[in-house]
Each structure stands twice: as C-alpha cells, then as structure tokens.
C-alpha cells in the first residue's frame, strides 16, 4: 500500500468517549457540535489541498473523524482515509455499537495497517508517531488532559505539524 507525502496528508488524534466533557450518545448537543466541527475541518483541509487522512481507529474521536472523512469522500473525489491501527485486536472488548462502526470504517477506508500483531506497552505511541510523521496537519480534540492525545499533540508541534484543535478553535 502506498501512502502520500506530508504536504497533502492530515491525521487525527483525540479522546476516547469517556474523556469528553459531554456524552457521545447520539443527539447529544456537544457531540453534534463536535461532528459539525469535524466535518468543517475535513472540508477545510480538502479545500487546502489535503487528500489523505490518517486515523488511528480508536473508539471515540478517531472513529468520528474517520466517519467524517468517509462522508466527505462522497462529495469530494480523491479523498482517501488510511486507518493505522496500533495492533490487530484493537477493537476486542468494545461494545457492539462502536465495534460495528469501527468495522464499517475499516471496510470503507482506502487502506489499513496494524503496526503490531498484539498489544505492546508502546504500540499506541508508535501508531501516533507513525501518523504524525506522514502528515503536515493534525486535526485534534485536546483540552489539556494528560494521556495519548497530549503526547501526540506535543510530538506534532515538535515536528512542525500544523495543529487544528477542535476543542479550542471555531471553524
């Protein structure tokens, strides 16, 4: 599978569902605003010439972002979604609803790659670095909480990647 170079590639990072300040249940106003902002960020990136989007596939923000790219692809020819998974069994143990959305996203993406056959202590950081190293824009939801999203935002800034933070910016 061939992946694009940095100038036309963007990636996503954000929280799993339990870290958001609002519920990820359908019809929740906070979720609806986030999805609108994700759609706008993807279309803005496409307007700026971005064609390739990298998603880590975790439940919560990653899946929401992947779904936004798949919807945008219906309106814009040439957009591609690549799912970069930390390990092959990432969705094991998820509730059925998120697992179904994950599998639908994988079926619809342009390509996927698991970086490890099984969980390792560093597999999520490796996945995040892999995506950032291939991108020039990071679209994220980061409100300052510690964890993998904070790590990825810091790493992206160190690499000179443009940050679009949906927790702070109005699009």
CATH number, domain of 50, equals 3.40.50.450
Q: Is residue 170 part of a domain?
A: no
Q: Is residue 46 part of a domain?
A: yes
Range of the domain at 32: 6-165
Give mean pLDDT in consecutive 10-residue pieces for the chain, a chain of 171 residues: 68 94 88 95 96 96 98 95 95 93 97 92 95 96 95 96 86 39
pTM here is: 0.93
Residue 44 exposure: Cα atoms within 13 Å on the Cβ side: 13
pLDDT on residue 26: 79
List the beta strands (DSSP E) in 45-157. Answer: 52-55, 80-85, 111-114, 137-140
Q: Is residue 1 part of a domain?
A: no
Q: Is residue 74 part of a domain?
A: yes
Q: What is the CA radius of gyration of the chain?
A: 15
Question: How many domains, in total, are found in the chain?
Answer: 1
Helix, strand, or coil (residue 60) = coil
pLDDT on residue 171: 39
pLDDT on residue 5: 57
Q: Residue 61's Cα: distance from chain center in Å?
A: 6
Q: Is residue 171 part of a domain?
A: no
Strand partners, 111: 82
């Amino acid at each position: 599978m061939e992946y694009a170079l940095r100038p036309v590639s963007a990636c996503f990072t954000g929280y799993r569902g339990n870290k958001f300040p609002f519920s990820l249940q359908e019809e929740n106003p906070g979720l609806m605003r986030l999805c609108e902002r994700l759609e706008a960020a993807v279309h803005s990136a496409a307007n700026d010439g971005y064609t390739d989007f990298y998603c880590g596939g975790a439940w919560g923000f990653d899946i929401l972002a992947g779904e936004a790219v798949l919807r945008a692809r219906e309106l814009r020819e040439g957009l591609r979604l690549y799912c970069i998974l930390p390990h092959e069994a990432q969705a094991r143990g998820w509730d059925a609803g998120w697992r179904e959305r994950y599998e639908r996203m994988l079926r619809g993406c342009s390509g996927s790659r698991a970086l490890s056959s099984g969980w390792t202590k560093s597999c999520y950081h490796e996945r995040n670095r892999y995506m950032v190293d291939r991108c020039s824009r990071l679209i994220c939801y980061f409100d300052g909480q510690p964890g993998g999203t904070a790590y990825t935002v810091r790493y992206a800034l160190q690499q000179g990647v443009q940050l679009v933070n949906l927790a702070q910016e109005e699009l």
